Amino acid sequence: MQPLIRFATKDDAPAIMRLIQGLADFEKASDQVVITAEDLVRDGFGADPKFKCYVAEMRKGNPEHNEFQIVGMALFYRRYSTWKGPTIHLEDLMVQEEFRGQGVGTALYRAVLTYAHAQNLRRVNWEVLDWNTPAIDFYEKSGADVLKEWRVVSMDDKALSAYLNS
Protein backbone atom coordinates (compact mmCIF):
# COMPACT_ATOMS: atom_id res chain seq x y z
CA MET A 1 0.00 0.00 0.00
CA GLN A 2 1.32 3.44 -0.96
CA PRO A 3 1.52 6.10 1.72
CA LEU A 4 -0.60 9.23 1.46
CA ILE A 5 1.73 12.26 1.45
CA ARG A 6 0.27 15.64 2.39
CA PHE A 7 1.29 18.91 4.02
CA ALA A 8 1.01 18.80 7.78
CA THR A 9 -1.57 20.82 9.68
CA LYS A 10 -1.38 22.13 13.24
CA ASP A 11 -3.49 19.15 14.33
CA ASP A 12 -0.59 16.91 13.29
CA ALA A 13 1.83 18.53 15.78
CA PRO A 14 1.58 15.74 18.42
CA ALA A 15 2.31 13.06 15.79
CA ILE A 16 5.19 15.12 14.38
CA MET A 17 6.54 15.55 17.90
CA ARG A 18 6.37 11.77 18.43
CA LEU A 19 8.37 11.25 15.21
CA ILE A 20 10.94 13.90 16.22
CA GLN A 21 11.46 12.14 19.56
CA GLY A 22 11.73 8.81 17.73
CA LEU A 23 14.44 10.27 15.50
CA ALA A 24 16.32 11.62 18.53
CA ASP A 25 16.12 8.16 20.11
CA PHE A 26 17.44 6.56 16.88
CA GLU A 27 20.32 9.06 16.80
CA LYS A 28 21.14 8.30 20.45
CA ALA A 29 20.25 11.87 21.47
CA SER A 30 16.98 11.29 23.32
CA ASP A 31 17.60 13.98 25.92
CA GLN A 32 18.37 16.74 23.42
CA VAL A 33 14.82 17.46 22.23
CA VAL A 34 13.58 20.62 23.99
CA ILE A 35 10.70 21.71 21.72
CA THR A 36 7.06 20.83 22.32
CA ALA A 37 4.02 20.26 20.13
CA GLU A 38 2.96 23.79 21.08
CA ASP A 39 6.26 25.12 19.72
CA LEU A 40 5.60 23.30 16.45
CA VAL A 41 2.13 24.82 16.18
CA ARG A 42 3.43 28.33 16.90
CA ASP A 43 6.50 28.07 14.66
CA GLY A 44 5.04 26.16 11.74
CA PHE A 45 1.39 27.09 11.50
CA GLY A 46 1.12 30.65 12.77
CA ALA A 47 1.26 34.00 10.98
CA ASP A 48 4.96 33.63 10.07
CA PRO A 49 5.65 29.91 9.45
CA LYS A 50 9.30 28.96 9.97
CA PHE A 51 9.00 25.58 8.24
CA LYS A 52 6.91 23.34 6.03
CA CYS A 53 6.32 19.71 6.77
CA TYR A 54 5.03 16.77 4.79
CA VAL A 55 3.52 13.85 6.65
CA ALA A 56 3.06 10.30 5.42
CA GLU A 57 -0.09 8.46 6.38
CA MET A 58 -0.78 4.74 6.14
CA ARG A 59 -4.04 2.92 6.72
CA LYS A 60 -4.37 1.44 10.21
CA GLY A 61 -4.74 -2.31 10.49
CA ASN A 62 -7.49 -3.78 8.33
CA PRO A 63 -7.42 -2.50 4.71
CA GLU A 64 -11.21 -2.09 4.88
CA HIS A 65 -10.89 0.57 7.59
CA ASN A 66 -10.70 4.16 6.49
CA GLU A 67 -8.61 5.28 9.47
CA PHE A 68 -5.05 6.50 8.85
CA GLN A 69 -2.04 7.09 11.06
CA ILE A 70 0.95 9.36 10.54
CA VAL A 71 4.03 7.15 10.14
CA GLY A 72 6.61 9.58 8.74
CA MET A 73 7.46 13.20 8.17
CA ALA A 74 9.84 15.48 6.28
CA LEU A 75 10.36 18.91 7.81
CA PHE A 76 12.12 21.58 5.74
CA TYR A 77 12.58 25.31 5.43
CA ARG A 78 13.87 27.93 3.03
CA ARG A 79 17.32 29.41 3.34
CA TYR A 80 19.55 31.49 1.15
CA SER A 81 22.81 30.41 -0.44
CA THR A 82 25.29 33.11 -1.43
CA TRP A 83 26.26 30.86 -4.34
CA LYS A 84 22.90 29.47 -5.45
CA GLY A 85 20.20 31.82 -4.16
CA PRO A 86 17.05 30.43 -2.49
CA THR A 87 17.43 26.82 -1.37
CA ILE A 88 15.71 24.37 0.94
CA HIS A 89 17.21 22.76 4.01
CA LEU A 90 15.70 19.36 4.77
CA GLU A 91 15.95 19.32 8.55
CA ASP A 92 14.56 15.85 9.20
CA LEU A 93 13.12 12.95 7.26
CA MET A 94 11.81 10.29 9.62
CA VAL A 95 9.79 7.09 9.21
CA GLN A 96 8.62 4.93 12.12
CA GLU A 97 10.78 1.83 12.29
CA GLU A 98 7.97 -0.64 11.55
CA PHE A 99 7.14 1.22 8.31
CA ARG A 100 10.68 1.45 6.94
CA GLY A 101 11.37 -0.41 3.72
CA GLN A 102 7.82 0.17 2.42
CA GLY A 103 8.50 3.25 0.28
CA VAL A 104 7.39 5.81 2.89
CA GLY A 105 10.78 7.53 3.14
CA THR A 106 11.16 7.56 -0.63
CA ALA A 107 7.71 9.14 -1.04
CA LEU A 108 8.52 11.86 1.51
CA TYR A 109 11.94 12.48 -0.07
CA ARG A 110 10.36 12.76 -3.51
CA ALA A 111 7.71 15.18 -2.20
CA VAL A 112 10.37 17.56 -0.82
CA LEU A 113 12.44 17.38 -4.01
CA THR A 114 9.32 17.88 -6.15
CA TYR A 115 8.42 20.94 -4.08
CA ALA A 116 11.94 22.37 -4.50
CA HIS A 117 11.87 21.74 -8.25
CA ALA A 118 8.42 23.35 -8.62
CA GLN A 119 9.73 26.41 -6.75
CA ASN A 120 12.68 26.62 -9.20
CA LEU A 121 15.15 26.27 -6.34
CA ARG A 122 18.72 25.42 -7.24
CA ARG A 123 19.63 23.26 -4.27
CA VAL A 124 18.35 21.15 -1.40
CA ASN A 125 20.71 20.50 1.53
CA TRP A 126 20.58 18.21 4.54
CA GLU A 127 22.88 16.34 6.90
CA VAL A 128 23.23 12.63 7.49
CA LEU A 129 25.13 10.91 10.29
CA ASP A 130 28.26 9.15 9.07
CA TRP A 131 27.18 5.86 10.66
CA ASN A 132 23.77 5.86 8.95
CA THR A 133 24.99 3.88 5.94
CA PRO A 134 21.51 2.86 4.69
CA ALA A 135 20.56 6.55 4.41
CA ILE A 136 23.90 7.47 2.81
CA ASP A 137 23.52 4.66 0.27
CA PHE A 138 19.94 5.76 -0.49
CA TYR A 139 20.96 9.40 -1.01
CA GLU A 140 23.91 8.51 -3.20
CA LYS A 141 21.78 6.18 -5.34
CA SER A 142 19.29 9.03 -5.81
CA GLY A 143 22.03 11.25 -7.26
CA ALA A 144 22.77 13.35 -4.18
CA ASP A 145 26.36 14.19 -3.27
CA VAL A 146 27.39 13.28 0.26
CA LEU A 147 30.11 15.85 0.88
CA LYS A 148 32.81 14.20 2.96
CA GLU A 149 35.10 17.20 3.13
CA TRP A 150 32.54 19.50 4.85
CA ARG A 151 31.90 19.53 8.59
CA VAL A 152 28.66 20.51 10.27
CA VAL A 153 29.18 23.31 12.79
CA SER A 154 26.72 23.93 15.59
CA MET A 155 26.50 26.18 18.63
CA ASP A 156 23.77 25.53 21.19
CA ASP A 157 22.21 28.18 23.41
CA LYS A 158 24.64 27.54 26.29
CA ALA A 159 27.70 27.90 24.06
CA LEU A 160 26.16 30.98 22.43
CA SER A 161 25.63 32.65 25.81
CA ALA A 162 29.11 31.68 27.01
CA TYR A 163 30.71 33.10 23.89
CA LEU A 164 28.75 36.34 23.97
CA ASN A 165 29.43 36.80 27.70
CA SER A 166 33.18 36.21 27.38
Considering only residues 63 and 136, tell me which one the structure prediction assigns the higher pLDDT: 136
- Give the closest residue to 116 by CA, choosing from 69, 82, 79, 148: 79
- Partnered with residue 90 across adjacent β-strands are 76
Confidence class for position 63, pLDDT limits 50, 70, 90: low
Is the pLDDT reported for residue 61 higher than 80? no
The CATH label, of 2.40.170.20, 3.40.50.970, 3.40.630.30, 1.10.3080.10, for the domain at 4-164 is 3.40.630.30
Tens of pLDDT, residues 34-53: 999 999 999 999 999 999 99
Is the pLDDT reported for residue 64 higher than 80? no
pLDDT of residue 67: 85
139 annotated active-site: yes
The answer to whether the beta carbons of residues 90 and 124 sit under 8 Å apart is yes
Catalytically annotated residue among 80, 109, 115, 139: 139
